[in-house]
Structure 1
């Protein structure tokens, strides 16, 4: 799967319909199981995720790539770097 900019997404974490911190918790569970270099797209209908996920990613030393507003949800792209 590739996002609109052509970046290869390895894993989609679909947290749509979950309230904060649900999408972040789903990301935490998923990222722990993935190898370094994995690019994840987190989908969330909770607006707070657009701020919370990038803040958490930077806090734990992973790579925040971007956030896009889609049709009714946000897509946050992150990369596991350690």
Structure 2
């Protein structure tokens, strides 16, 4: 798990598939203040490219990092998104 960021909130979208991780992430970042960091925990492998693509094309958010872990024999993807405006 990343310790580089001061995580403000964690969003658990495990078990949800495209497009829901992006939709839920967008909703969660809307409620953050500038500079706050959202950790998104997902099990959908597509979330790696989907959330990166969303962050790259959305004003006001920045993808800080993405990690792939394994928990209980299942891949878990962590995304760290900062609200920039």
Q: TM-score, normalised by structure 2?
A: 0.86
- If each structure's strand is expressed as a fraction of its own residues, which one has the higher value? 2
Deviation >4 Å, runs of 4+: none
> Does 1:74 find its partner at 2:67?
no
> Secondary structure at the residue paired with 2:17?
coil
Equivalent residue pairs, number: 80
Matches of 1:19 and 1:60 in 2, distance apart?
20
Q: TM-score, normalised by structure 1?
A: 0.89
**Unaligned stretches of 5+ residues in structure 1:** none
Shift in Å at residue 8 of structure 1?
1.1
Matches of 1:27 and 1:44 in 2, distance apart?
11
